[in-house]
Structure 1
Amino acid sequence: MQFGVFTVGDVTTDPVTGHTVSEAERIKAMVTVAKKAEEIGLDVFATGEHHNPPFVPSSPTTMLGFIAAQTSKIILSTSTTLITTNDPVKIAEDYAMLQHLADGRVDLMMGRGNTGPVYPWFGKDIRDGIALAVENYALLRRLWREDVVSWEGRFRTPLEGFTSTPRPLDGVPPFVWHGSIRSPEIAEQAAYYGDGFFHNNIFWPAEHTAKLIDLYRRRFEHYGHGAADQAIVGLGGQIFMRKNSQDAIREYRPYFDHSPIYGGGPSMEDTMAETPLIVGSPQEIIERTLTFREKFGDYQRQLFIADHAGLPLKTVLEQMDILGEEVVPVLRKEFAALKPAHVPDAPTHESLKTAAQRAKDLETL
């Protein structure tokens, strides 16, 4: 089971102090959070991709490359990479380059994003969102797996004898998660290729999330990648902790109420009841997170968002210390004890490289 944090990189005024960090301060704070994640023993740091205020992470590979130079163990990922509005040729090259710089500590999550206007900003039509996701990813896979590609599709100019450079590290492309919170077509896409499916279920009740994950699992088995319970599933969530729940709720409430994600919606109590948002003591975080397995089956990756809505960096780092010292060690132990032996771990560069070598060896027999 992999545990990590992800960031949406919002620049939000602190509703308690009235202070707003600069874009430079926010970007550097995200780097600090990534380095802290490795320090406390987390497995993954992921950054979103946004091209509109109040968000700053418009260039994930730039940020992750900078972080790669200052870390040595943590997996660097995205949440998400916009497969619809980025050119798949550029994705292929950028993330292969990042693979080399990070010694393989790279995977990425494909998604369509949550900002409708991003489509015309990059010359696309939002009505083509699903079709773009399907076509662009099919091309991306070929670019990573074939040395020379000739291709023609609907949404970009044709390729003739094109080689994407650099080639993936060790001949093994980064593992891909397909992120979606509402689209069965994306669950189907993940299942078809045997990739991971990530449901960032911060907005949705468990019943909705369970339906999409169940669809992905059934179709994963249908396409012959393994049994349904062997499918590769990731979940998102959000936490805020203090020693006792009353203090956590009191401290977090103004941030929730002014959040660019939650603000203006249902109350914090209603949101906690209906979604994975957990505000409380470390023990409450542990108990609630363990229920995700009961609702969605054994899964491989759990990411938490901890640094948004104007929370001061000092508070964020305090949250991460609690996560690393009191929460994740218990969750690791509990999830490991519950996981059946036939359920795989989340793929890594090393495991994918080993599998590729094994397949190659079998071909020569």
Structure 2
Amino acid sequence: MQFGIFSVSDVTTDPTTGRTPDDTERVRSMLTIARHADAAGLDVFATGEHHNPPFVASSPTTLLGYLAAATENIVLSTSTTLITTNDPVKIAEDYAMLQVISDGRMDLMLGRGNTGPVYPWFGQDIRQGIPLAIENYALLRRLWEEDVVDWEGRFRTPLQGFTATPRPLDGVPPYVWHGSIRSPEIAEQAGYYGDGFFHNNIFWPMSHTKKMVNFYRQRFEHYGHGRADQAIVGLGGQVFMRKNSQDAWNEFRPYFDNAPVYGHGPSMEEFTATTPLTVGSPQQVIERYASMRDDVGDYQRQLFLIDHAGLPLKTVLEQIDMLAEEVVPVLRKEMETKRPAHVPANPPSHAERAAARLEDAQTRNENEARDEIHA
């Protein structure tokens, strides 16, 4: 199972000092965080995509392209790539380029985002969010899978004899997750194509997450991609840890109360009771996240939000170390001990998918040769 971190890239004033980093400092801190996560042995680093303050991650592939050269093992991903307001032609080329640069050590999560004004900023209508996501992804897949594309749809100019460059590494498109919090149409889309489904449930009770994941699993099986329990699932989460639980609560409370993503709303007590946010000791985090399997079944990726709300960089790096040293080894062992042999432990890697493609091609060639002999 993969464990990692994701960033929403917020620029937030530290409520305990009154200090606010500028955009440059925040971007560079994200690079430091990703490098530290790689060195600590975490499996995934993912960045969001936003085009408005107080967020700075407006160009995920630029950030991840740098990290491809600056890290060694960690999978580089997004959380999210905006499938609705980005041109699918640009997505196809940008992420194929990232795939080549990283030698396949990447994937991406497609989603609609959570900022309404981004639609008119990029010439789209928010009321068309779901149709945009569906049509744009259908085109994106063709651009990766077909060398020459003729296409016409509702939301962009037609394509005639178009070839996206560079071509995907080894002829295998990047692995795609479909990220959604509340839209069954997106879970349906993930199931239809046999892609991964990521439920970033940081604001939602587990009862809702369970419904969405189970629906995706049913559709994955319905479309013939395997058994429902073999569908590829990822979850979001949030943690803040100290050795002593009360110390964690005391330290994190001012950050929670002023965070742009949930401050000035429910109390921290209410939020931790109803969402995956876990504030406490590493053992409490282990117990909380080990129980996720009981609701959604065996899953393949768990990402944690830890670098937000104005937390100092030093604190974030400490959180990464606690995750890597005290939480992840125990969770990984617990999850893998219970996982049935027929259920994938991880999302499919580029190497696995390239090998499967080669095997399929060899089988087709053998069948065609046999047909010619008997013709």
Q: Paired residue for 2:56?
A: 56
**Residues 92-138 of structure 1: CA distance to partner in whole angstroms, max 9, x if unpaired?**
00000011111111100000000000000000000000000000000
Aligned to 1:69: 69
**Amino acid of the structure 2 residue aligned with 1:181:** I
Corresponding position of 1:43: 43
In the TM superposition, residue 347 of structure 1 has moved relative to its aligned partner by: 1.2
Aligned residue pairs, count: 365
- Which residue in 1 is equivalent to 2:327? 327
- Residue 130 of structure 1 corresponds to 130
* SS at 1:69 equivalent: helix
TM-fit CA distance, 1:268: 0.7
Tell me how far apart the structure 2 counterparts of residues 174 and 265 of structure 1 sit (CA, whole Å): 38
Q: Distance in 1 between matches of 2:244 and 2:354?
A: 45
In structure 1, give the amino acid aligned to 2:222: H
Query: Which residue of 2 is the match for residue 233 of structure 1?
Result: 233
Runs of 4+ in 1 over 3 A off after TM superposition: none
Look up the SS of the partner of 2:291 in the other structure. Answer: helix
Match of 1:104 in 2: 104
Letter in 2 for 1:76: L
Q: CA deviation at 1:359?
A: 1.4
The corresponding residue for 2:355 is: 354
Q: Secondary structure at the match of 1:58?
A: coil
In structure 2, how many angstroms separate the alpha carbons of the residues matched to 1:357 and 1:210? 36
Distance 2:28 2:34 in 1: 10
Q: Give me the TM-score of the superposition, normalised by structure 1.
A: 0.99
1:58 offset after TM fit, Å? 0.2
AA paired with 2:82?
L
Q: Which residue of 2 aligns with 1:17?
A: 17
Report Cα offsets for 1:279-304 as digits up to 9, x if no partner: 00000000100010001100000000
Distance 1:273 1:352 in 2: 40
Residue 365 of structure 2: aligned partner = 364
Partners of 2:189 and 2:5 in 1: CA distance: 25
Higher mean C-alpha deviation, range 341-350 or range 212-221: 341-350
Q: CA RMSD in A?
A: 0.6
CA distance in 2: counterparts of 1:339 and 1:364, whole angstroms: 36
**Under a length normalisation based on structure 2, what TM-score does the superposition of the two structures give?**
0.97
CA distance in 1, matches of 2:321, 2:43: 14
How far apart are residue 89 of structure 1 and its match?
0.2
Deviations 1:29-83 (A, max 9, x none): 0000100111111111000000000000000000000111111211100000000
CA distance in 2, matches of 1:348, 1:249: 38
Per-residue CA deviation, residues 170-204 of structure 1 (Å, 9 max, x unaligned), is 11111000000000000000000000000000000
Aligned to 2:371: none
* Structure 1: gaps of 5 or more residues: none
CA distance in 2, matches of 1:28, 1:38: 16
Aligned match of 2:176: 176
**SS of the residue aligned with 2:35?**
helix
Q: One-letter code of the match for 2:355?
A: T
Matched, 1:253 2:253: yes
Q: Can you list the C-alpha shifts for 1:136-192, whole angstroms capped at 9, x where unaligned?
A: 000000000000000000000000000000000111111000000000000000000
Query: Aligned partner of 1:95: which letter?
Result: Y
Larger radius of gyration: 2
Q: CA deviation at 1:355?
A: 1.4
CA distance in 2, matches of 1:320, 1:140: 34
Select between 186-195 and 96-105 the one with higher mean Cα deviation. 96-105
- Give unpaired runs (5+ residues) of structure 2: 367-375
Distance 1:305 1:347 in 2: 23
State the alpha-carbon separation in 1 of the partners of residues 129 and 349 from structure 2: 29
CA distance in 2, matches of 1:256, 1:362: 56
Range with bigger deviation, 263-272 or 250-259: 263-272
Task: Give the Cα–Cα distance (whole angstroms) in 1 for the partners of residues 146 and 47 of structure 2.
Answer: 28
Q: What fraction of aligned residue pairs are identical, expressed as a percent?
A: 72
Measure how far apart 1:245 and its partner are: 0.7
| 1:352, distance to aligned residue in structure 2 (A) | 1.1
